[in-house]
């Protein structure tokens, strides 16, 4: 798992003016809205005696620890310590990490890392959001899988033929072959486009909207943005488009929260939202059922433990990106965390740690930064 990226924490409509505890990257956080409706995110562990801020309450736009009543504002600074006097200024070290939070696409995103604003990777953009001629639906899933398995599944053009009867022929086409991939590189990931032979759309309304009643070659594409976001383009016809965006948040090493935002430029009326969501749920369940049975559950540390073919190129590039971010010192050292977490509280380092010293809570152990290099055999965990 990696720091220094934006992760979805909660749907905007579910965040209120009371504490909400969330687990992300194997650590606990507390989120709430202040009196002006702004979203805040802090490390959940109180720097006093380890209380869980997410189990406290919100008062005067601050979160209050349920153990001894210490209050922390949205910047993570303690503003009240009852035991030394309600109006006595708290010690300077009485603070916890505060993480930038922003709202986009109906989600609250939190930047879990210590980079300043000018250095941060951007949130995956949805150009169609809010544009005339497009409709959207949002769905969420919580799966017991390694997030990398999920992202790699989306970068795999070969699985559609066998996993999804909505996308492929279940291996019955004797001429089946993954067509050449048109690889696209971006500042924060790799994608591809290619042509694939697909069955007609099963839903009657979607079938009518597509204007075709038989199997046909269509244009599709997919790619990742950072370690845990992904985009997919499906074009049933030259003018009919389904664009999907997945924002994933590793809850921990074995569990992932997935948000799917589906954009379409046809059947725009709200009454068709349920149709699209049912189709997406059907496809997602097929993916989940396969991913749950993969062994090992965590992607192998070296690619030589799997036999790649040309269609796996996007997955190989994804793993190279992970290795590059590990070389920057952004990968969490899970072995050290597991070794120490029973007796040591950790926090994802926040931007304020670049400006202030003397923190009570230790920063989470990270793999050491190394000179960047292209590595095709190692796999970040």
**236 and 166 assigned to the same domain:** yes
Tell me, yes or no, whether 377 lies in a domain.
no
Mean per-residue pLDDT, 88-116: 98
Average pLDDT, the chain: 93
**49 and 177 assigned to the same domain:** no
Assigned token pair, 8: 């979805």
Confidence band for 375, pLDDT divided at 50, 70 and 90: very low
Mean per-residue pLDDT, 111-119: 98
Tell me, yes or no, whether 213 lies in a domain.
yes
- Cα separation, 230 vs 228, in Å, equals 7
**112 and 169 assigned to the same domain:** no
Tell me, yes or no, whether 329 lies in a domain.
no
Could you tell me which of 221, 247, 216 has the C-alpha nearest to residue 234? Answer: 221
Mean per-residue pLDDT, 26-45: 99
**198 and 101 assigned to the same domain:** no
Q: Of 119, 143, 166, which residue sits at a domain end?
A: 119
Rounded to 5 degrees, φ, ψ at 290 are: -75, -45
Report the SS3 class of residue 180: coil
**104 and 146 assigned to the same domain:** no
**276 and 162 assigned to the same domain:** yes
pLDDT beyond 70 at 374: no
pLDDT in tens, 331-349: 999 999 999 999 999 999 9
**53 and 179 assigned to the same domain:** no
Tell me, yes or no, whether 299 lies in a domain.
yes
pTM of the model: 0.93
**86 and 161 assigned to the same domain:** no
- Cα separation, 256 vs 252, in Å, equals 7
**13 and 102 assigned to the same domain:** yes
**262 and 115 assigned to the same domain:** no
Number of neighbours of residue 358 by Cβ within 10 angstroms: 8
Write out the residue range of the structural domain in which residue 232 sits: 135-319
| CATH code for the domain of 276 | 3.90.380.10
Contact 124, 245 (CB under 8 A): yes
Could you tell me which of 359, 126, 166, 371 has the C-alpha nearest to residue 281? Answer: 166
Tell me, yes or no, whether 81 lies in a domain.
yes
- Residues in Cβ contact with 271 at an 8 Å cutoff, skipping those fewer than 6 apart: none
Query: Can you say how many angstroms the Cα of residue 77 is from the centroid of all Cα atoms in its chain?
Result: 28
Could you tell me which of 96, 110, 107 has the C-alpha nearest to residue 62? Answer: 96
- Cα separation, 133 vs 55, in Å, equals 43
DSSP state of 200: P
pLDDT beyond 80 at 379: no
Tell me, yes or no, whether 364 lies in a domain.
no
pLDDT at 323: 96
**Residue 230: beta bridge partners?**
224, 246
Tell me, yes or no, whether 325 lies in a domain.
no
Q: Return the percentage of the chain with pLDDT > 90, whole number.
A: 83
| CATH code for the domain of 37 | 2.102.10.10
Q: Of 95, 119, 143, which residue sits at a domain end?
A: 119
Q: Of 119, 144, 161, which residue sits at a domain end?
A: 119
pLDDT at 333: 98
**146 and 182 assigned to the same domain:** yes
pLDDT beyond 60 at 377: no
**69 and 202 assigned to the same domain:** no
Contact 228, 250 (CB under 8 A): yes
Could you tell me which of 71, 26, 47, 82 has the C-alpha nearest to residue 334? Answer: 26
Number of domains in the chain: 2
- Residues in Cβ contact with 375 at an 8 Å cutoff, skipping those fewer than 6 apart: 320, 323
pLDDT in tens, 252-302: 999 999 999 999 999 999 999 999 999 999 999 999 999 999 999 999 988
pLDDT in tens, 150-202: 999 999 998 887 887 776 556 667 777 888 999 999 999 999 999 987 776 66
Tell me, yes or no, whether 53 lies in a domain.
yes
């Amino acid at each position: 798992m990696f720091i220094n990226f934006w992760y979805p924490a909660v749907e905007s409509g579910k965040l209120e003016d009371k504490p909400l505890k969330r687990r992300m990257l194997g650590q606990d956080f507390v989120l709430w809205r202040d009196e002006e409706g702004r979203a805040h995110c802090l490390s959940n562990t109180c720097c006093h005696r380890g209380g869980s801020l997410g189990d406290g309450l919100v008062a005067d736009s601050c979160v209050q620890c349920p153990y001894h009543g210490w209050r922390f504002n949205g910047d993570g600074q303690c503003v009240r310590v009852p035991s030394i006097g309600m109006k006595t200024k708290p010690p300077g070290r009485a603070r916890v990490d505060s993480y930038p939070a922003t709202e986009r696409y109906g989600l609250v995103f939190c930047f879990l890392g210590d980079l300043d604003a000018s250095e941060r990777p951007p949130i995956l953009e949805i150009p169609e959001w809010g544009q005339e001629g497009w409709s959207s639906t949002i769905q969420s899933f919580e799966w017991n899988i390694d997030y990398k398995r999920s992202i790699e599944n989306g970068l795999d053009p070969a699985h559609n033929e066998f996993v999804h009867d909505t996308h492929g022929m279940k291996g019955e086409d004797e001429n089946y072959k993954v067509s050449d991939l048109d690889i696209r590189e971006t500042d924060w990931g790799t994608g591809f486009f290619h042509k694939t032979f697909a069955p007609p759309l099963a839903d009657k309304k979607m079938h009518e909207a597509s204007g075709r009643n038989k199997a046909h070659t269509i244009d599709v594409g997919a790619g990742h943005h950072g370690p845990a976001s992904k985009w997919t383009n499906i074009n049933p016809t030259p003018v009919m488009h389904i664009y999907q965006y997945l924002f994933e948040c590793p809850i921990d090493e074995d569990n992932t929260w997935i948000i799917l935002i589906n954009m379409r430029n046809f059947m725009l009326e709200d009454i068709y939202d349920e149709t699209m969501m049912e189709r997406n749920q059907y496809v997602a369940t097929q993916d989940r059922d396969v991913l749950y049975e993969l062994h090992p559950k965590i992607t192998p540390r070296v690619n030589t433990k799997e036999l790649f073919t040309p269609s796996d190129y996007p997955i190989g590039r994804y793993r190279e990106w992970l290795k590059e971010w590990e070389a920057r010192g952004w990968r969490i050292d899970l072995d050290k965390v597991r070794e120490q977490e029973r007796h040591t509280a950790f926090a994802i380092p926040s931007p304020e740690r670049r400006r202030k010293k003397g923190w009570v809570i230790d920063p989470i152990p990270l793999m050491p930064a190394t000179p960047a290099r292209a590595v095709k055999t190692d796999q970040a965990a």
